[in-house]
Amino acid sequence: MHRLHRASLFAALAALTLSAGPLGAQTSRRFGLRADPAVLDSAAVERLADTLPLRARVAQLVMPWIPGSYAAFDDSAFTVMQGWVDSLEVGGIIVSIGSPLDVAMKLNRLQYRSVLPLLVAAAFESGTSIRLTGATPFPSNMAVAAGGREQDAYEVGRVTALEGRSVGVHLAFAPVADINNNPANPIINTRSFGEDPAAVGRLVSAAVRGLQENGMLATAKHFPGHGDTETDSHIALPVIKATWPRFDSLELVPFRAAVDAGVAFVMSAHLAAPALASAPDRPATLDPAVMSQLLRDSLHFGGMVVTDALEMGGIVSKYGAAEAAVLAFEAGADLLLQPTDPGAVIEAMVTAVESGRISEERLDRSVRRLLRLKHRLGLFARRYVPLDSVPEVVGSGRFLEAARDIAQRSLVLAVDSLGSVDSLRSGRRSIALVTYGEDNAATVGGTLHRRLRDAGHRVTLFRLWPASGEASFDSARAVIRRSEYTVFAASVRVSAWKGSVGLPDQVAELIDRTMRRRNAVLVSLGSPYIGLQVAHLRSYLIAWDSRSLAEWAAARALTGEASITGRLPVSLPPRFPVGSGLQRAGRGWE
């Protein structure tokens, strides 16, 4: 059946072929790659939707996930991925973590195997380094917001587009448009630009423009807003109990800004919002009242709607992946993202069309939207990327300088009531550096340690882990007693399927006791909300993440080499409202 189907798909495409074109031929000669089977003009792209067989039209709207790591072309796992492309004939791929060259090589191969060009997406939140090892390590969205410049959000988007397109990615599942107005939110946190709707809207708009003006499609997510929840939708279905006036004045503001900026995609959230829904427990992804009436009719969004991952517990546990996909399409989705079994989703969708549950007219609207975007991206003329140009773009020095500048300006000194930070900045001290990390416990604080020592401080490093027992805490207390100052560096980060974000009680207690009795500074290398766990918080520097660049910036701030100028884009109640932040001048270059 697949051979006949593939033959008919080739025939449909061949009938519309204008020319392989000089660009395709040049690409083929230079990189040993096959020229695209067709270079279509916009009119031919419109006709293509009418000539594709039903199964091919359905398959265009399914986007499975693949790892970005290296794989031989005859590896069993790669064979499965290749089958999704050349047998199921999916319309797109979501690529995850890998080196830039491995990702580019893998995507070139899959593009080569696909009859129609693939739309390739990646979750490039806060830049490409979240997925591409060695790419420019921009700080989190919340850090960008702390720096206070819309241009920074644009620059992150711009560099993301250039780096992403160089490896063959066309669509960023970014920016996050959620407002993080709940400190207990276990899954959004620093992924958000903050809690002030107008400020978040401006930064979302800038990020969208930065991406799309430089060749990459953007996605505003997670509609209608995932910020006010204490449940991770990877695990269960969150319920947001806000009223319509609250949604209208808060959660929806950044999405309106994204639509006004011309965002190409909006991603749905697997959550229930009774004030917006057709039924109280209906997930937004599966509800036409949210995805069609609100998003398209009220917000006038004319782009493409993509589901959040269809493997997530927020919907799969109740509906199953295949039925959830059909329901999501009925609700208004165009692309069906990351199903566990792409073949089962295609079968379910074909059955729904053949039975009349989904009309062919409705199917064709989504197919046409997708093919137009592929044409707009130039994929019918050139779908491959040159491997030798990847190192010239990804992680280049000019991009790294921009990331350093943003990271430095993002630092927020929320409080320094006993002057511990000021004292560290004024001279060389004896410091106990006590670090805590979760999955990165063995490396967190390493750059901070080296930089403080290089500045002349006498530093003793002690690491705490999630599994640290009482003996470890006794040793930490002994190191603290022998030092004049203590710097706690804690990396607590958002992670899917974890369900919470925070310091273990024993770590928070150690920090609190030390703050009460000694000169101590807490440096957050992740969630800013860990400061709420320390009752006697007297010196608190927020560096937003545990990447080497963030620790480098924090060290320069603690040694006085750099200024501290950031302001909180979220509140840390009751002491620190939005906009809080002590300002300190640095003595080094800026």
The tens digit of pLDDT for each residue in 393-425 reads 999 999 999 999 999 999 999 999 999 999 999
Burial label for 396, CB within 10 Å (0-12, 13-18, 19+), is middle
Task: Give the pLDDT band of residue 35 (cuts 50, 70, 90).
Answer: very low
Same domain, 542 and 415: yes
Domain annotation covers residue 574:
no
Domain boundary among the residues 334, 360, 386 is at 360
Question: Is residue 355 located within the same domain as residue 416?
Answer: no
Residue 31: its pLDDT value, please? 31
**515 within a domain of the structure (yes/no):** yes
Task: Tell me the one-letter amino acid at 126.
Answer: S
Which runs of E-coded beta strand occur in 264-407?
Answer: 265-268, 304-306, 336-337
What's the rounded mean pLDDT across residues 240-261?
96
Same domain as 298, residue 424: no
Given this model, what pLDDT does residue 1 score?
42
At 588, the pLDDT band (50, 70, 90 cuts) reads low
| Residue positions annotated with a catalytic role | 234, 308
The verdict on 332 and 440 lying in the same domain is: no
Q: Is residue 52 part of a domain?
A: no
Q: How confident is the model at residue 21 (pLDDT cuts 50, 70, 90)?
A: very low
**Do residues 313 and 433 share a domain?**
no
Q: Which CATH number covers residue 290?
A: 3.20.20.300
Q: What is the pLDDT of residue 312?
A: 76
The answer to whether residue 457 scores a pLDDT higher than 80 is yes
State residue 10's pLDDT score: 56
356 and 432 share one domain: no
Does 44 map to a domain? no
Q: Supply the pLDDT for residue 499.
A: 55
On whether residue 19 sits in a domain, the answer given is no
Q: CB–CB of 225/201 below 8 Å?
A: no
Residues 361-394 have pLDDT tens digits of 999 999 999 999 999 999 999 999 999 999 999 9
What is the distance between the alpha carbons of residues 92 and 85, in angstroms, rounded to a whole number?
Answer: 8
Query: CA end-to-end span of the chain, whole Å?
Result: 64
Q: Looking at the structure, tell me whether residues 356 and 430 fall in a common domain.
A: no
Q: What does the mean pLDDT of the chain come to?
A: 91
- Show Cβ contacts of residue 440 under 8 Å, excluding neighbours closer than 6 positions: 491, 546
Structural domain containing residue 284:
61-360
Do 301 and 447 fall into the same domain?
Answer: no
> How confident is the model over 477-522, as pLDDT tens digits?
999 999 999 999 999 987 654 656 799 999 999 999 999 999 999 9
- Distance from chain centroid for Cα 6: 35
Contact 149, 114 (CB under 8 A): no
Tally of domains in the chain: 2
* C-alpha to C-alpha distances, 102 to 72, 118, 131, 387, nearest whole angstrom: 10, 17, 12, 10
Helix axes 197-212, 252-260, angle to 10 degrees: 30
Is residue 376 in a domain?
no
Cα radius of gyration rounded to whole Å, the chain: 25
Coil/strand/helix, residue 85: helix
- 3-state SS assignment for residue 267: strand
Among 317, 336, 360, where does a domain finish? 360
CA–CA separation, 130 and 122 (whole Å)? 9
Tell whether 246 and 145 lie within a shared domain.
yes
Lowest mean pLDDT among 25-39, 310-324, 367-381: 25-39
Whether residue 383 lies inside any domain: the answer is no
Residue 423 and residue 338 share a domain? no
71 belongs to a structural domain: yes
Q: Average pLDDT of 467-486?
A: 96
**Same-domain check for residues 295 and 354:** yes
> Distances from the Cα of 138 to the Cαs of 145, 162, 341, in angstroms?
12, 14, 34
Is there a single domain that holds both residue 352 and residue 434?
no
If you search the block for the tokens 């039925």, which residue do you land on? 323
CATH of the domain at 513: 3.40.50.1700
For the stretch 60-80, pLDDT in tens is 999 999 999 999 999 999 999
pLDDT digits (tens, 9 = 90+) for 179-221: 999 898 888 999 999 999 999 999 999 999 999 999 999 999 9
pTM equals 0.92
Q: How many CB atoms lie within 10 A of CB 347?
A: 15
Give the C-alpha separation, 424 to 430, whole Å: 10
